[in-house]
Structure 1
Amino acid sequence: MGWITSVRQPGESDRTHFERELFEYSNHTIVQSATVENVFYAAVRTKGTGKVWALVVPMVKAGGAKFRYRDLMETDGPSEAKAPAAVLKALSPTTDEKALRWRERCRKR
């Protein structure tokens, strides 16, 4: 997936920004999150199923309040793998091989 350019509201946290930007009109909610080295990691609950999966959002500043990001699911096998333990603990069990390998890489960091 390509990079998206966005504008952050003054004083807006990463979590608040991505809740608004990605999930405002969806059936998903962020239950745990953290930003590590310009990557936003979130445990996201799908309201219909109750399953919790990982969202990985690398970010790059683009000047002023602008920045670029790309949103990935753990099932994409992102190269960014520094999700903190609190985010990993909030995730539902999975059988997806890419997600399992990504979670293991995070635990080994």
Structure 2
Amino acid sequence: MGWSYSTQWRSKKQLVEYLTDSYRFGENQELLKSSVVGNNHWYLAKQKTTGEIWIGLDMMQSGREDGWGYKDLTASCGPVEVNCPISFLKEASEPDPDSYDAQWRKRVVSYHKSKRQKAKRSYEAGMVVQYDGTDYRLDRPAGSRRGWYVNRQPDGMLFRMNARQLGQAEIRGADH
């Protein structure tokens, strides 16, 4: 399974338009819905003859002068990506409990649960977080830009840690 590129897809938008075209799915399958998350195009499709609803993934990337490209997978054949919309899991047909698809769905649910927990974090001045192996003490919120001003431990250099970095950091406790 390789990547397909075309100079006809000069932008991500053009590629997504191609990926959602009914012609791509043929007469026996129907695209029910799709969602772009980063460079992943997730979709639900229905097999018309059996009524089975399955999850598909088109991983997309820019080939620069070669245009945009994609690699297509189904949930049953091994995506490692876990940012599939959780609603797709609820609408898709139930997989065999011992299948790769079932194990992958558990990882998707775990990813979304972890993401919600990180979003609920509350930060206070004096907390210590570890990001990329280095400890930082939270100094003060960065205001409307989000994130925090932090002091790198132990040298005290001041930095601004954006919200994405802060969400990836591990909370170590409070600085005493």
Give the match for residue 63 of structure 1: 64
Number of aligned residue pairs = 107
- Identical amino acids, percent of aligned pairs: 26
- Rg (Cα) greater in structure: 2
SS at 2:109 equivalent: helix
Aligned partner of residue 108 in structure 1, secondary structure: helix
Greater RCO (CA < 8 Å, at least 6 residues apart): 1
Q: Partner residue of 2:47? A: 46
Give the root-mean-square deviation of aligned CA atoms: 2.3
Residue equivalent to 1:102? 104
**Cα deviation 1:67-108 (Å, max 9, x = unaligned):** 111000111121112101122222011106111111111111
The aligned residue for residue 5 of structure 1 is: 5
Q: Give TM-score scaled by structure 1 length.
A: 0.83
Structure 2 equivalent of residue 29 of structure 1: 30
Structure 1 runs (4+) greater than 4 angstroms displaced: 9-13
Letter in 1 for 2:84: A
Aligned to 2:118: none
Distance 1:77 1:56 in 2: 10
Distance 2:65 2:85 in 1: 28
Unaligned runs of 5+ in 1: none
Counterpart Cα distance in 2 of 1:82 and 1:39: 8
